């Protein structure tokens, strides 16, 4: 049934030669702190009946979707890397409104709100899709959500500021780096009928290229306004999965909703999803250890535990951040061990100055050595999760090239250890770790929220 694809269009990034590219190094520097994570406001405890509110979806669209659910057939959406667009995000391209225009949207597992820039819009950032979505022209099906309504109350449940005195449901969301979006909560087609999203009339990025190219964000967190929660409230599939394709390619992969048991590969391993009581809308897993080759790092017991009183600690899965950040004790142990192994077994790699502040361990290929031998002697890194679920990071992901390889060039670009250290909080032993999208490449991540587990399937793109 071709209609079930919902008209999400593959992003053909290679053809966009006119767009200026931003260096991956600059993007990685900005990824130290996820630019879309909210400020540390206390999450509302009074979710109550709001989370059980049923959205009445358009009958025709829902009947078609429900047949898919009943037949246990997953809905699959194409996704690609944004590298050719000059950034390290991953994109889907849904249709929006009754005229079914398509827009680039960042796929983000740590975003609580799906939002799109809308006219009139001032100030707004540059986006690839022009003109900006204009509800007055592009849709006859868009409807405003009323202020103080149960649907508007979902903003408060997601710790998003709402304006209580407005007749329409208006919002303001400020991100950790100071970027912001403000507008009104609306309902319209966004890949599916009657999706709630923010129609952003004011958008600002505090860092150059922070919202580069995209028209908005598809939020995939546990939040009540995030895309998976909206589908779940409509009795649609509660599980979603994705496999991020290799960063330095225009290959497509998939974001899939409704992965039933019959669609899970036999080599999939599962680890429990953990609830962080202070940040309940993010996805956390228990990292039990790290090994490099056959060597297990000697790390303190409980290093990656969550402190329930502060919410610090743990390992968060974040497809919107590029670089994996580890607790400082774990990062220093990994870095020092990797440096020793490379010095002993990879003589073709010569230590160099840090390429950017974020990545402090970089190497250059020695003169006269063919690029094919770049990673000789470099071991894999394995992240060990609870219940014997391992994520194997091969050498070409452990040492990351900061520029797209050019087989026709003799120029040797640096490769850097693709890990960094977490911020040091007041409670040193509970620094939060983040698994970024670089280390999610080429593995399918399955978020089975109803069963409180995350699956990993290697090489499933």
CATH number of the domain residue 336 falls in: 2.40.70.10
Instruction: Fill in the DSSP letter of residue 369.
Output: -
Rounded Cα distance between 174 and 197, Å, is 16
Q: Are residues 286 and 240 in the same domain?
A: no
- Residue 56: pLDDT over 60: no
Task: Identify the active-site residue in 108, 312, 396, 448.
Answer: 108
Task: Identify the active-site residue in 177, 213, 318, 448.
Answer: 318
CB within 8 Å of 116: residues ≥ 6 apart: 96, 103, 105, 133, 190, 197, 198, 199, 200, 215, 216
Q: Are residues 204 and 270 in the same domain?
A: no
Q: Are residues 151 and 73 in the same domain?
A: yes
pLDDT one-digit tens code per residue, 403-416: 766 656 656 678 99
Do you find a cis peptide bond into 131, omega within 30 degrees of 0?
yes
Q: Are residues 233 and 277 in the same domain?
A: no
| Total number of domains constituting the chain | 2
Q: What is the rounded radius of gyration, in angstroms, for the C-alpha atoms of the chain?
A: 22
Query: Which residues are paired to 240 by β-bridges?
Result: 257, 447
Domain finish residue from 229, 261, 293: 261
Rounded Cα distance between 270 and 409, Å, is 42
CB within 8 Å of 71: residues ≥ 6 apart: none
Q: Considering only residues 1 and 113, tell me which one the structure prediction assigns the higher pLDDT.
A: 113
Question: Which of 76-90, 235-249, 276-290 is predicted least confidently?
Answer: 76-90
**DSSP string over 292-338:** ETTEEP---TTTT-B-TTT--BSEEE-TT--SEEE-HHHHHHHHHHH
Amino acid 85: pLDDT: 73
Rounded Cα distance between 425 and 427, Å, is 5
> How buried is residue 53: exposed, middle or buried, by Cβ count under 10 Å (0-12/13-18/19+)?
middle
Q: Are residues 159 and 288 in the same domain?
A: no
Average confidence (pLDDT) over 141-150 = 95
Residue 318 among the catalytic residues: yes
pLDDT one-digit tens code per residue, 219-261: 999 999 999 899 888 887 778 999 999 988 888 898 888 765 5
Residue 416 structure tokens: 């850097």
Name the pLDDT band for 459 (thresholds 50, 70, 90): confident
Rounded Cα distance between 65 and 192, Å, is 9
Q: Are residues 169 and 78 in the same domain?
A: yes
Amino acid 54: pLDDT: 25
- Range from 73-82, 110-119, 352-361 that averages highest in pLDDT: 110-119
What percentage of the chain has pLDDT greater than the value 70? 78
Q: Considering only residues 329 and 178, tell me which one the structure prediction assigns the higher pLDDT.
A: 329
Q: Are residues 317 and 305 in the same domain?
A: yes
Query: Which residues are paired to 81 by β-bridges?
Result: 90
Amino acid 170: pLDDT: 95
Query: Which residues are paired to 33 by β-bridges?
Result: none
Rounded Cα distance between 24 and 31, Å, is 10
Domain that holds residue 212: 2-261
- Residue 210: pLDDT over 80: no
Average confidence (pLDDT) over 20-26 = 33
- Residue 323: pLDDT over 80: yes
Q: Are residues 320 and 377 in the same domain?
A: yes
Given the structure tokens 């909703």, which residue do they identify? 257
- Range from 39-53, 84-98, 263-277 that averages highest in pLDDT: 263-277
Domain finish residue from 222, 241, 261: 261
Q: Are residues 250 and 284 in the same domain?
A: no
Q: Are residues 302 and 252 in the same domain?
A: no
CB within 8 Å of 268: residues ≥ 6 apart: 444, 446, 455, 456, 457
Residue 450 among the catalytic residues: no
Q: Are residues 248 and 328 in the same domain?
A: no
Residue 325 structure tokens: 């950040």
Query: Which residues are paired to 285 by β-bridges?
Result: 273, 315
Domain finish residue from 242, 261, 280: 261
- Residue 136: pLDDT over 70: yes
Q: Are residues 328 and 420 in the same domain?
A: yes
Average confidence (pLDDT) over 34-40 = 39
């Amino acid at each position: 049934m071709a209609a079930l694809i919902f008209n999400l269009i593959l992003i053909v990034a290679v053809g966009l030669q006119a767009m200026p590219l931003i260096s991956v190094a600059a993007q990685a520097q900005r990824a130290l702190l996820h630019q879309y994570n909210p400020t540390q406001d206390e999450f509302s405890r009074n979710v109550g009946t709001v989370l059980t509110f049923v959205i009445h979806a358009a009958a025709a669209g829902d009947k078609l979707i429900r047949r898919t659910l009943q037949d246990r057939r997953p809905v699959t959406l194409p996704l690609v890397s944004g590298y050719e667009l000059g950034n390290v995000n991953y994109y889907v391209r849904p249709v929006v409104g009754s005229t079914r225009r398509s827009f680039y949207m960042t796929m983000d597992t740590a975003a609580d709100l799906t939002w799109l820039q809308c006219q009139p819009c001032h100030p707004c950032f540059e986006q690839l899709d022009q003109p900006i979505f204009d509800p007055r022209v592009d849709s006859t099906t868009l409807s405003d959500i009323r202020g103080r309504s149960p649907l508007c109350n979902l903003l408060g449940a997601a710790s998003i500021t709402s304006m209580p005195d407005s007749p329409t449901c208006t919002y303001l969301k400020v991100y950790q780096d100071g970027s912001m979006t403000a507008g009104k909560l609306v309902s319209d087609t966004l890949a599916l009928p009657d999706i709630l999203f923010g129609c952003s009339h004011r958008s600002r990025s505090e860092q150059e290229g922070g919202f580069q190219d995209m028209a908005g964000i598809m939020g995939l967190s546990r939040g009540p306004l995030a895309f998976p929660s909206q589908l779940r409230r409509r009795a649609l599939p509660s599980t979603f999965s994705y496999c991020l394709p290799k960063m330095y390619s225009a290959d497509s992969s998939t974001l899939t909703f409704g992965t039933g048991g019959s669609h899970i590969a036999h080599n999939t391993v599962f680890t429990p999803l953990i609830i962080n009581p202070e940040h309940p809308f993010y996805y956390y897993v228990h990292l039990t250890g790290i090994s490099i080759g056959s060597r297990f790092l000697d790390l303190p017991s409980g290093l990656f535990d969550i402190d329930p009183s502060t919410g610090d600690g743990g390992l968060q899965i974040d497809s919107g951040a590029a670089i994996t950040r580890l607790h400082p004790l774990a990062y220093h142990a990994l870095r020092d061990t990797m440096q020793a192994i490379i010095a002993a077994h990879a003589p073709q790699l010569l230590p160099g100055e840090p390429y950017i502040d974020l990545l402090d361990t970089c190497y250059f290929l020695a003169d006269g050595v063919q690029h094919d031998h770049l990673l000789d002697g470099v071991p894999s890194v394995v992240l060990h999760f609870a219940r014997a679920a391992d994520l194997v990071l091969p050498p070409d992901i452990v040492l990351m090239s900061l520029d797209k390889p050019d087989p026709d060039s003799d120029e040797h670009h640096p490769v850097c250890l693709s890990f960094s250290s977490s911020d040091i909080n007041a409670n040193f032993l509970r620094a939060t770790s983040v698994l970024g999208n670089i280390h999610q490449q080429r593995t399918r991540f399955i978020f089975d929220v109803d069963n409180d587990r995350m699956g990993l399937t290697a090489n499933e793109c």
